[in-house]
Structures are given as C-alpha cells and as structure tokens.
Amino acid sequence: MAHSGKLLFELFVMFAGAKLLAEIFERLRQPTVIGEIIAGMLLGPSLLGLVHPDEFNLGVAEVGAIFLLFVVGLETKPRDLMKVGGTATLVATSGVAIPFILGFLYVRAIHHILVESIFVGAAMVATSVGITARVLADLGVLQTRAARVILAAAVLDDILGMIVLAVVSSLSTGKIHYASLITVSVEAVLFSLLVIVLGPRVVGRAGPVIAKVRMQNAAFILSIILCLGLSLAFVYIGMAAIIGAFLAGLALAEYSEAWKLQENAHPIYEFLAPFFFVMLGVQIEIKSLATPGLLPIIVVISVLAIISKMIGCGLGAAQLGWKDALRVGIGMVPRGEVGLIVAAVGLNLHTISDAIYAVVLFMSMITTLFAPPALRLVLRRAPGKAM
Amino acid sequence: MAHSGKLLFELFVMFAGAKLLAEIFERLRQPTVIGEIIAGMLLGPSLLGLVHPDEFNLGVAEVGAIFLLFVVGLETKPRDLMKVGGTATLVATSGVAIPFILGFLYVRAIHHILVESIFVGAAMVATSVGITARVLADLGVLQTRAARVILAAAVLDDILGMIVLAVVSSLSTGKIHYASLITVSVEAVLFSLLVIVLGPRVVGRAGPVIAKVRMQNAAFILSIILCLGLSLAFVYIGMAAIIGAFLAGLALAEYSEAWKLQENAHPIYEFLAPFFFVMLGVQIEIKSLATPGLLPIIVVISVLAIISKMIGCGLGAAQLGWKDALRVGIGMVPRGEVGLIVAAVGLNLHTISDAIYAVVLFMSMITTLFAPPALRLVLRRAPGKAM
C-alpha cells in the first residue's frame, strides 16, 4: 500500500502540476509544453524533490511519447510525406552534417580529446521530434508543408543519428565494424521505407479481417497492437521507439477517421503525453550548472547547436522559400532525449567526462526549451499553405 | 535503449496476449476477462517467463484498475446507489462476518495457531470489485438493481475490510489500538459518504469554473485530476485506490455525458485495464501447488470462501428475491488483489507461514476465476430490471 501511495502521489502531482503550468502558459500566450517541462523542473530532485526518476515514471513517460507520435502519425498521410521526400532528405542530411562539424571543431578547439569532441558532435546531430510534434499539433498546423518536411526529415534524421551513434559507440573499442554498420543502416532504411510504402496497403486490406474479429472496438485494439509492435521493432533495430509509433500512425492514417482511431487514441495521448514532458523537466539537474568554467562552454555549445541546425536544415529546405526554410530549421532544433541517449552511451563507455556529459545535457535542454516559443513565433504569423 | 526494449517488449506481449486470449474466450462464449488473466498466467514466470512483475508493469496494472473503476463510477449515478444503501449495508456486513467466521474456524480446526487462523479469516473478508465490475460492464448490466447493490456493497466492504486489516495488523504487536482503529474507521466512512453525498453537488457547481479554464478538453483533464487525487486520498486513509477512483467517477456521473467524460475515459480504460488483469495472472505461482498436503487445504478454503460470500451476501440481499440475491452473492465472491494484500501484510509481519500465504494466494485466485463465468450464467438468463 505504501508503494501504491508513492506511485499515485507522483502521478497526481505530475499530471496536476503539468496542467496547472500549462494553463498558466496558455494564459501568458506561451507554449503549454514549456509549462509542462517547467512543472517537471519544479517537482524534480533539483527543487521541490517531489518526483524522482524511476522505472515507473520513466516508463510512463516513454509510453506517453509513443502515443504522442502515434497520434501525430494518424494525422499524417504517407502520400503527403512522400511528396516532400526529396526536400526532407536534403534537410536531414545537411542538418546532420553541419551540427556535427561545428560541435566537433569547437570542443576540439578548447583542448578536449578527440573522442570527446566526436561524442559532442554526435550528440548535436539527433533531432527529437516529440517537442516539435506537440507544438505543431497544439497550433493545428500539422497539415502545412513545413510540418510535413519536419516530420519526414525527423524519420530520416533518426536513421542518420543511429548510424552516427553506432560509429561513435565503436570508437571506444578502437575499431569500427564497417560490415555491421552497413547492415544496421540498410536495415533501418529498408524497414522505414517498408512501413511507409507498404503499411497503408496492408492496413487497407485488413478491413475484412477486422470485421471478423469479435471483440468490441477491434480496429482500435489492433491499432494499439500495431503501434506497440512497431515501437518495439524499431528499438530492436536500434532506432527510437517513437519513430516506430509515428510510422504505425502513418500506416493507419488513411483509415483513422473511418475506424475512429484518432478519436480513441487522443484521450490516451492527453492522459499520458504530459508525463513525457514533465519527466524531461524532472531530469534536468540544475545544480550541475555551478561547476566552475562549465557555463561558458554550455552557452557556446547551445548557441552552436541551435544555429547549426537552423542553418543546416534551413539550407536543406531553401527551395521552399526562406519563411518555410526558417520554420523547418527551428522545428529541427530540439535534441530532447535523443541527445541525452548519445551522451549516456558515452558516459557508460567511459569515453566522455562528467563535465562534457553535463554540457550535452544542458545543450539538449536548452535546444528543447528554445524551439517551442521560436516555432510558435514563425508559425503563427503566417501558418503556410496546406499542400 | 536496452531498458526501453524490455519495457516495450512486456507491454506488447501483455497487450497482444491479453487481446488474443480475450478474442478466443469471446468466441468460446466465456468471459473475456478470464482470457486476459490466463494470458498473464501463460506469460508469467511460472510458464513462458516473458513477463516478470516489476515496478513498471505493476504500476501500469494499478493505473489500469483505477481507470476501470473510474469508468464504472461514471456509469453509476449516486442517487441510484443511495437507493440501495440499506440492502448494500446488510450485504456488506453479513458478507464480512460469515467468511471470517468460517475461515477462522476451519484453519483453527486443522491445528494452526490462533493468529494464522485470524489472518486467513481476514483475507477471506475483502471483496475485489474490479473483476465483477468488468463482467458487469462487459454484459452491459451496470444499470440493474443487482449491479448497484454489488457496487455500493463493495465500497462498504472495503471500509469493513480495512478495519479488519487494521485489527489483524495490530495482532502481531500483541495489543490493539482501539483509539486509532476508531479514528481510521470513522475517517473512512465519513470520507466515502462525503464524496457520495457532496461530490455531485460540488461538481455541479464547477461548471462555470471549468468554462473559465482555457486549456483544451478542460472538463476531462480536471476529471482525471479528481480521479487521481481521490485515489491517492483513499490510499492515504488506508483504503484501496480503486475505491477513490470509483467515487470520483460517481461524483462526475451526472455530467458524464454533457462533458464527454465517458467518451474520453473509455479508450484509456481499454488500453490500460488489460494490464491489470494480465498482471493478476502473471502473479499466480503455479508451482507452489506442488507443496505436499497443501492442495486439500486450498480446495477447502476456496470452497469455503465461495460459499461463505454467496451465503453471507445472498442473505443480506434476500429482500431482493432469490435471483438477485444469488447475483449479488456471486458478484461479491472475487477476492482478487485485496486478499493478496492482507496475506502480504501477514507475511511481512512474520505472523503467517509461507504455506498459509500460498493458501490465501490460491484462494484469491480461485474465487477470482470462479466469479466471471458464474456471474455471466446468472446474469445472462434474465438480466433483471433497471431501477
């Protein structure tokens, strides 16, 4: 019973706190998602100490992120995504190259060892699409051209990020296994393409099968199974679970209305997603900012992380005109938990120091906090045309 | 990433497994909830070993039970529950007394020490309303008189069960603290009555407040906060979280339609509740059945547990006629996790042996597996009249 009390206490303060701050931010005309992250910062170990990251609340946060991307996927039709495929490829590629080079050069310049420089560069590569997806959904602009480029590029970006992670992970052992690297990359690309291209067709033919299932609300139940299954499959091939959830939503998007999927998945997203954002805040360790000499490095790295993604992705999206290019650039800025994963790998392999780990942590956080207000600013003025 | 994989793997096999067996049971015209529990038995450590009880999946199961009872509460109007208050009080009281006496006498008769006899008696007292609520909801008979008596009696039963638990817990220290016992009981009764009587009025006046809240879907968000908050409050006063969730639903029931609460809460229930039933199955340790001499005791205790509740609760509901009395008697049979909590307390206080713990465990399980098919049988024939 005592355990049950702790668990429910954390759920209650996280949900109520997230919604209280979301309401305040709504009234201040600021992105509500920032309110939820700040609720986490307040509740977390650094300040009030009411919520501590543990297996349960981190797990709930992950399931929240999965339903967030699933719902976004349900609103995105694959054929619309394919239309922006060329631009998205450019955006993802130059959005990976430029941050890596700038991050690497700066850390190398301030006299850090080669492996550490490569790790910081790698942590600056990956985009966390969760934050951006939430802002796009909140503003109701998921159907705009910029939003579609961002979502498509995020999928590709995750594939590229995974390749970079595989390369840097192998650095600690001294040699790079090119064969396994190529296998993993090809697997990831093929699997993603398979889901995007074949997914909707397979789902389209599932109609008669679903009609035969006797349980209530069968289409929705089966769509959850697909969502969890693809999330798991993507973790197995070394990618983020949320990309699998997004692709599951994508595969079901054409039938979302007929099968009432959006209607059913949305309340689950509304209940669980706040835990994802609150836990992002809970995990921010404010006191590590006090380490001497760290602050300037954090500031420079964060500014580089923001500028390099905006330039890299913006250049990739240049053909859309400077307004949409700016939107895409800003939308790709948040590193969120993806940067943290890279840093955690480095820390676990003992290839980066605690100080560099803290730098990556704050860079992830600052880019995450930067994107929502900036994105809102450039999206609100002129929401762009739907394709 | 590895951790995320384990978590997602368990979620996927639990959900997919539960739904696969639910579908099979649906086709066999058996209660789907039994299919979900059996899925858990198959996946758990005793057989396939794919799912192990841990902080995360037990927590998700608990949140599932909370949404199950919240949804049932949303479908139950307090005034209908109050109408059956007298009968429910009789049902709960004699449904507590008779199982306790029979359980106590039998264990005492087979030469067990006094404290152990009292513990087994206590474990036979508490009703777990989760199973029954699910069967009632599946059959669409939540609005019948028998269903209302069961739900009202379950709330009272939990209060009585808590008092019994407090008494037996104090046994290990040698003396009973009457003062704190009375405080706790009065607290529990008053708090429950407060929510049932005042809840709907307070909620009724909340309309204008909710209209002022700017966030999307404000009524639903606030209702989740109420549900989590009351669940937590009930844990704090020593009762089961799910009773708090049920009362939260009850307080909101009058506005459930206008505020689209049922519509929003139902998908969350559909996603999370299966984890509660699967985890009931996962926690069943089949191999402890092999302990010599244990099987006959388990059989006798289980039969006593079933018969004593049916007689006790049936007698309490005698005024409803024998058909409804039988329905109420069977509906109150499942001990579920409540019996397990009593047994776990005894085990932790070192007042009961491992063998007696196993007996209580199987008694809980067998009563839980007994109720759904039996309930379905007596409810299907003639679903009773709505009040």
What would the mean pLDDT of B8-21 be, rounded to a whole number?
A: 96
Mutate which of B56, B165, B184 to test chain A, going by most A C-beta atoms within 10 A?
A: B56
pLDDT of residue B175: 62
> Which of B224, B225, B235 lies nearest to residue A5, judging by beta carbons?
B235
| C-alpha distance from A147 to closest chain B C-alpha (Å) | 21
A144 DSSP β-pair partners: A386
| Band (A387; pLDDT cuts 50, 70, 90) | very low
pLDDT of residue A176: 61
Whether A8 has its CB under 8 Å from any CB of chain B: the answer is yes
What the block records as the tokens of A295 is: 């602050």
**Interval B97-121: pLDDT, tens:** 999 999 999 998 987 788 888 888 8
Q: How far apart are CA A341 and CA A240, in angstroms?
A: 10
Cα A268 to the center of its chain, rounded Å: 19
Tell me the three state secondary structure of residue B116: helix
What would the mean pLDDT of A245-251 be, rounded to a whole number?
A: 89
Whether A213 has its CB under 8 Å from any CB of chain B: the answer is yes
Q: What pTM was computed for the model?
A: 0.84
What would the mean pLDDT of A355-384 be, rounded to a whole number?
A: 80
Phi, psi dihedral angles at B54 (to 5 degrees): -145, 180
Determine the residue of chain A that is closest to B5 in CA distance.
A235
**Interval B141-182: pLDDT, tens:** 888 889 999 988 887 887 777 677 767 766 656 566 677 777
What would the mean pLDDT of B77-84 be, rounded to a whole number?
A: 81
Report the complex ipTM: 0.83
| Band (A226; pLDDT cuts 50, 70, 90) | very high
Is the confidence at residue A386, as pLDDT, over 50? no
**In chain B, where does DSSP find H-type helix?**
2-27, 32-43, 55-74, 78-83, 85-109, 114-123, 129-138, 145-171, 178-205, 207-212, 218-236, 241-252, 261-282, 294-316, 322-331, 336-348, 354-381
Answer yes or no: do A15 and B228 touch at CB < 8 A. yes
What would the mean pLDDT of A213-228 be, rounded to a whole number?
A: 91
Chain B residues lying within 8 Å of A237, measured CB to CB: none
Answer yes or no: do A11 and B228 touch at CB < 8 A. yes
**Interval B174-219: pLDDT, tens:** 566 677 777 777 877 788 788 888 888 888 888 788 888 888 889 9
| C-alpha distance from B289 to closest chain A C-alpha (Å) | 27
A386 DSSP β-pair partners: A144
Answer yes or no: do B229 and A16 touch at CB < 8 A. yes
Is the confidence at residue A102, as pLDDT, over 50? yes
Mutate which of B228, B242, B275, B279 to test chain A, going by most A C-beta atoms within 10 A?
A: B228
Q: Give how far Cα B57 sits from Cα of A76, A80, A253, B53, Å.
A: 31, 38, 29, 6
**Interval A147-166: pLDDT, tens:** 999 988 887 887 777 677 76
Answer yes or no: do A26 and B215 touch at CB < 8 A. yes
Q: How far apart are CA A320 and CA A317, in angstroms?
A: 6
Tell me the three state secondary structure of residue A357: helix
Q: In chain A, positions 312-341, which contact chain B (CB-CB < 8 Å)?
A: 341
| Band (B387; pLDDT cuts 50, 70, 90) | very low
Tell me the three state secondary structure of residue B47: coil
Q: Look at the domain A2-381 and name its fold.
A: Na+/H+ antiporter like fold (1.20.1530)
Chain A residues lying within 8 Å of B25, measured CB to CB: none
**What string of H, E and C letters represents the secondary structure of A118-166?**
HHHHHHCCCCCHHHHHHHHHHHCCCCEHHHHHHHHHHHHHHHHHHHHHH
Q: How far apart are CA A375 and CA A329, in angstroms?
A: 9
Cα B130 to the center of its chain, rounded Å: 4
Higher model confidence: residue A313 or residue B5?
A: A313
**Interval B220-251: pLDDT, tens:** 999 999 999 999 998 888 777 888 898 899 89
> Which of A215, A225, A235 lies nearest to residue B16, judging by beta carbons?
A225
> Which of A8, A32, A224 lies nearest to residue B215, judging by beta carbons?
A32
Determine the residue of chain A that is closest to B345 in CA distance.
A1
Is the confidence at residue B7, as pLDDT, over 70? yes
Query: Residue A131, Cβ neighbours under 10 Å: how many?
Result: 30
Answer yes or no: do B214 and A9 touch at CB < 8 A. no
Is the confidence at residue B67, as pLDDT, over 80? yes
- CATH architecture of the domain covering B63-279+293-381: Up-down Bundle (1.20)
Higher model confidence: residue B123 or residue B352?
A: B123
**Interval B364-375: pLDDT, tens:** 888 888 888 898
What would the mean pLDDT of B17-40 be, rounded to a whole number?
A: 89
Judge residue B111's burial from the number of C-beta atoms within 10 Å of its C-beta, 0-12 exposed, 13-18 middle, 19 or more buried. exposed
pLDDT of residue B274: 94
Is the confidence at residue B377, as pLDDT, over 50? yes
Chain A residues lying within 8 Å of B229, measured CB to CB: 12, 16
Residue the block writes with tokens 């997230």 = A18
- How many Å is the Cα radius of gyration of chain A? 20
Query: Residue A91, Cβ neighbours under 10 Å: how many?
Result: 33
Chain A residues lying within 8 Å of B32, measured CB to CB: 215
**Interval B292-327: pLDDT, tens:** 888 899 999 999 999 999 999 999 999 999 999 999
Q: Which amino acid is at A244?
A: G
pLDDT of residue B325: 92
pLDDT of residue B1: 38
Cα diameter, chain B = 66
Lowest mean pLDDT among A5-9, A80-84, A326-330, B90-94: A80-84
| Band (A275; pLDDT cuts 50, 70, 90) | very high
pLDDT of residue B172: 59
pLDDT of residue B166: 67
The answer to whether the Cα torsion of A328, A334, A337, A338 is positive or negative is positive
What would the mean pLDDT of A110-129 be, rounded to a whole number?
A: 83
- Considering A10-19, A346-355, B126-135, B161-170, the range whose residues carry the highest mean pLDDT is A10-19
The answer to whether A158 and A243 have CB atoms below 8 angstroms apart is yes
Answer yes or no: do B241 and A268 touch at CB < 8 A. no
Answer yes or no: do A16 and B270 touch at CB < 8 A. no
Q: How far apart are CA B19 and CA A167, in angstroms?
A: 40
pLDDT of residue B386: 41
| C-alpha distance from A52 to closest chain B C-alpha (Å) | 14
Q: Give how far Cα B383 sits from Cα of A192, B77, B140, B333, B372, Å.
A: 51, 19, 9, 19, 15
Q: How far apart are CA A7 and CA A269, in angstroms?
A: 20
Answer yes or no: do B8 and A217 touch at CB < 8 A. no
| Band (B383; pLDDT cuts 50, 70, 90) | very low
- For residue B378, the 8-state DSSP code is H
What would the mean pLDDT of A301-325 be, rounded to a whole number?
A: 93
Phi, psi dihedral angles at A275 (to 5 degrees): -65, -35
Q: In chain A, positions 56-75, which contact chain B (CB-CB < 8 Å)?
A: 56, 59-60, 62-63
Is the confidence at residue A85, as pLDDT, over 90? no
Q: Which residues of B287-312 are buried (b: 16+ CB within 10 A; e: fewer)?
A: ebeeeeebeebbeebbebbbbbbbbb
What would the mean pLDDT of B2-9 be, rounded to a whole number?
A: 78
**Interval B268-282: pLDDT, tens:** 999 999 998 899 888
Q: In chain A, positions 257-276, which contact chain B (CB-CB < 8 Å)?
A: 264-268, 270-271
Q: How far apart are the first and last CA of chain B?
A: 54
Tell me the three state secondary structure of residue A259: coil
Answer yes or no: do B267 and A265 touch at CB < 8 A. yes
pLDDT above 70 covers what percent of chain B? 90
The answer to whether B34 and B273 have CB atoms below 8 angstroms apart is no
> Which of A22, A56, A217 lies nearest to residue B215, judging by beta carbons?
A22
**Interval A280-300: pLDDT, tens:** 888 877 777 777 888 899 999
pLDDT of residue A40: 93
